[in-house]
Amino acid sequence: MAKKARSAQRREESLSPDQIIEASIELLDCGGEKGLTFRALSERLATGPGAIYWHISSKSDLLTAACDAIVARTLNAPVDGSTPKASIRALALAMFDAIDEHPWVGSALTRAPGQLPLVRILERIGQQLRALGVPAKAEWATVSALLSYILGVGGQNAANTHFAREQGLDRSNFLDEVSSVWSQFDPDEYPFTRSVAGQLRSHDDRVDFLAGIDLMLRGIESARGR
């Protein structure tokens, strides 16, 4: 009996946490959070659930670990760090692209407040805000605003992409249709919406995202100057 127990322990230890996390990311990318189950993970790793539970006790912990792996590799990638402003801009865009590539990351981050994945982003941006000269009393409000924008816009973009894939929509055709509908709105009730209907057709999500980041950075610099 003791020999069998030692043998089972060796099998469980031979499966590394990194292997489990990488397999989890593959499942999440293919099927979203619904696709991540211990059964599916066991089949992908050709092992029993016990070997996985040896390292990670719940799906929630597994999702957080997978999210943290994506965030860590995203933040560790080389970025333009010539200035604090350039660093924030590059880090924000890197997270936008990561959430676009892995749509489940956005929702995983919002459901893990205070945990390591979010703390990594908070710390990296916070350090750059200090280097930018943001007053200590304004640090929390400033980093919170940037975080909310990055996660909110990144998450919405990922949700839009996921919806389009599920519905089999072509982006250009979809935007053309929406633009046409907007252009037919009552000019007295929706003057602004009608005026930007044409811009909707050709807008670039990444460019729009960076425009928002630049607006926030200009506001930060303006407040610091005052």
- pLDDT, tens digit, for every residue of 118-148? 999 999 999 999 999 999 999 999 999 999 9
Cα separation, 11 vs 4, in Å, equals 11
Task: At 102, list the tokens.
Answer: 């892995």
Measure the CA angle with vertex 34, ends 103 and 162; round to 5°.
Answer: 30
Residue 177 CA to its chain's centroid (Å): 28
Least confident of 3-12, 106-115, 166-175: 3-12
For residue 68, give the nearest of 10, 33, 27, 24 by alpha carbon: 24
Assess contact for 9 and 50: CB atoms under 8 A: no
What are the φ and ψ backbone dihedral angles of 163, each rounded to 5 degrees? -60, -45
What is the reported pLDDT for 226?
61
Rg (CA), the chain: 22
**pLDDT above 90 for 101:** yes
**What is the C-alpha separation between 51 and 9, in angstroms, rounded?**
8
Specify the DSSP class assigned to residue 36: -
- The confidence score (pLDDT) of residue 114 equals 85
Cα–Cα dist 36/101, whole Å? 17
User: Does the pLDDT value for residue 92 go beyond 70?
Assistant: yes
pLDDT tens digit sequence for 187-200: 999 999 999 999 99
Q: Is the pLDDT of residue 163 over 50?
A: yes
pTM of this prediction exceeds 0.75: yes
- Dist CA 54 CA 20 (whole Å): 11
Q: Could you tell me the domains of the chain?
A: 1-57 (1.10.10.60), 74-225 (1.10.357.10)
In percent, the amount of the chain with pLDDT more than 90 equals: 64
Model confidence at 161: pLDDT above 90: no
Q: Is 49 or 139 the better-scoring residue by pLDDT?
A: 139
For residue 62, what are its two tokens? 């597994």
CA distance 205 to 203: 6
Say how many residues make up the chain. Answer: 226
Instruction: Look at the alpha carbons of 52, 55, 57, 62 in this order and tell me if their dihedral is positive or negative.
Output: negative
